Amino acid sequence: MPAYDSLLASITTDAVSARDVFDPATGELIGRAPLLTSAEADAAVDRAADAQAAWAALGHEERSAVLHRAADAVEAQSEALAQILSREQGKPLNGPNARFEVGACVSWLRVTADTPTPTQVVVDDGSDYAELHYRPIGVVGAITPWNWPMMIAIWQIAPALRMGNTVVAKPSEYTLLSGLALIAVLNEALPSGVLIAAPGDGGIGAGLVANAAVGKIMFTGSTATGKKIIEASAGNVTRLTLELGGNDAGIVLPDVDPEAIAEQLFWGAFINTGQTCAALKRLYVHDDVYEAVCDALVEVASSMPMGIGLDEANVLGPLQNAMQFDVVDRLVEAARRSGARVLLGGDPKRDQPGHFYPATLIADIDPTNDLVVEEQFGPVLPIVRYTDLDEAITLANGLDVGLGASVWSADRDRARDVAARIEAGTVWINSHGGVHPMIPFGGVKQSGYGLEFGVDGLKAASVPQVING
Ligand code: NAD
C-alpha cells in the first residue's frame, strides 16, 4: 500500500463516534476520524500523567535524542503527511504550504532538541549563590487550530516534551486527520504515553483546561476561545500560553520600489491562502506610491495559480471550511458596498465544488471598513491610502490585537524607528510573517501572552525553580 494510504488507514475508523472528513477542494469524502468521549479524554490525561516521571527522568540529552528520532520519522513519512494535510486542510503541496509545513515540523523538532537548557546561575558573588532551573510542569494540554494543523502542533509539542512534560494534544475538529497522522508518526519514536492524541471538538478542549492533572495549556486559536480558556483556567490556576488572533498591519513608506517588494507583500498576505495568524491583513500605502504598489500587487496576484492542493502547479488553495468562506464573502461584500475599488477577484464561482475564494485586492477603502478592522483570515487584502505617517501608525495601533506588523522602506533605520512605534509582538522590516525556531514569537494586547520558540519557548513549557545556597 502506498505510504499515504497506509498512514490514512491507520488513523481512520469505522467506529460510531467519528466524524466524516471532506476534501475542501472537491467535497469528496477522505475518511472518518475518531472522536473521544470526555471520559476517554480524561483517561488520556491519566495515562500521560503516569508516563511523565519516567520521561522526565530520561534527562535532557536522551529526550533530545528521542526528539531527533521523531524528526527522522516525520522526514521518512513527509510526503504521506503532506498529502493528508493537503487533502484535509486544502493547502497545495507546493508554495509555502503542505510540504513547507511538514518541513517546518522537522526543523522545529531538531532545533528544539538542540536548544541549550535555560538553566542559569543568577547570583554568584562570594556571599550569595543562586541558580534558576526550569522543571517539568507535568501534563501539558496542547490545543490547536485548523490553519497550520501540523506545524502549530509541533510548536507546542516539541518544547513541552523537551522540558520533560508529557502531552495530550487536541487537534482542531476541522483538521483531525492532520493532527492524528502527525501524532501517529511522532509516536513511532516516542515512548508510550508521552504524547497522546485527544481528537474532538471544543468540549474536549474545555475538558483538558478543566482537568486538574493538566498543569499547562498551550493554546493557539481565536481570541474568543482564548478568553474562555482564561476564565476556565482560574479553577486550578492552570498555566497558559495563548497565541490568539491577529489583524496585522503593514505600512509602506514612500521610498520603496513597488515592483521590488510586490512579491514579498503578496506572500505576506496570501501565505496559506490568507489563513495565517500572522499574515498581512491590512496594508497602509503612502499616496506617492499607492497606485504603483496596487498595480504591482495585481500583477503578482494574477500570476498565482489556485486550485486543488494535490495538483503540483497550484500555490493557492480553497478555504478550509464553509464558515471561513462566509466570513471572507461577507467582508468583501461590505467593502464593495462601501464603494471601495475591487482591483482583483471578489467574484467566487459559487456553482463549483470547493470553498474557493479568488485572490482579492481592494483599494480606496475606508480605514474603518469591516474588511480592515476585522480579521478576514482568507485571500483578501484591503489597501488603505495614507499621506501622514503618524496617522498610518495610529491606524495600525488602533485595534485591540497586536500579533505582527511590518514596515516597508528602502531606509532600514527609518523603518526601525517606525517599527518601534507599532504595538505588535513582532515587527518585520521589508517582509512579513517569517518565523524561525530560535526567534521568540508571541502577541501583545488581545493577541495573547507568552512566548514560543527558542530558549524563551523552553522556559514557557516549564516551571521555574530557584536553588538558593
Ligand atoms: P478556535 O478558537 O475556534 O479553535 C481553536 C481550538 O480551540 C480548536 O481545537 C477548538 O476545538 C478548541 N476549542 C474551542 N472551544 C474551546 C474551549 N472552550 N476550550 C478549549 N478549547 C476549545 O480557532 P480556529 O478557528 O481553529 O483558528 C483560527 C484563529 O486562530 C484565528 O483567529 C487565527 O488568527 C488564530 N491563530 C493564531 C495563531 C497565533 O500564533 N497567534 C496561529 C494560528 C491561528
User: Could you read off the pLDDT of 325-356 as tens digits, one per residue?
Assistant: 999 999 999 999 999 999 999 999 999 999 99
At 35, list the grid cell: 472522536
Q: How far is the CA of 288 from the centre of ligand 1 (A)?
A: 39
At 173, list the grid cell: 475538529
Q: Which residues pair with 362 in a beta bridge?
A: 342, 382
For residue range 81-90, list pLDDT tens digits in order.
Answer: 999 999 999 9
**Ligand 1, atom 38, residue with closest C-alpha:** 277
For residue range 354-384, list pLDDT tens digits in order.
Answer: 999 999 999 999 999 999 999 999 999 999 9
Give the number of the atom of ligand 1 that is nearest the alpha carbon of residue 208.
20
Mean of the per-residue pLDDT values of the chain: 97
Which residue intervals of 58-131 are DSSP H helices? 59-76, 78-89, 98-114
Any residues with Cβ below 6 Å from ligand 1, and which? 143-147, 152, 170, 172-173, 201-202, 205-206, 209, 220-222, 225, 228-229, 243-246, 277, 375, 377, 403, 443, 447-448
**Ligand 1, atom 41, residue with closest C-alpha:** 243
- CB-CB contact of 377 with 327 (8 Å): yes
For residue range 249-277, list pLDDT tens digits in order.
Answer: 999 999 999 999 999 999 999 999 999 99
The beta strands (E) that lie in 120-222 are given as: 120-124, 129-135, 139-143, 166-170, 195-197, 214-220
* Residue of 93, 6, 100, 22 lying closest to 310 (CA atoms): 93
- Which residues form the catalytic set? 243, 277
The pick from 170, 230, 277 for probing ligand 1's pocket by mutation, whose C-beta has the most ligand atoms within 8 angstroms, reads 277
Domains and CATH numbers, the chain: 3-244+447-468 (3.40.605.10), 248-429 (3.40.309.10)
For residue range 104-120, list pLDDT tens digits in order.
Answer: 999 999 999 999 998 99
Whole-prediction pTM = 0.97
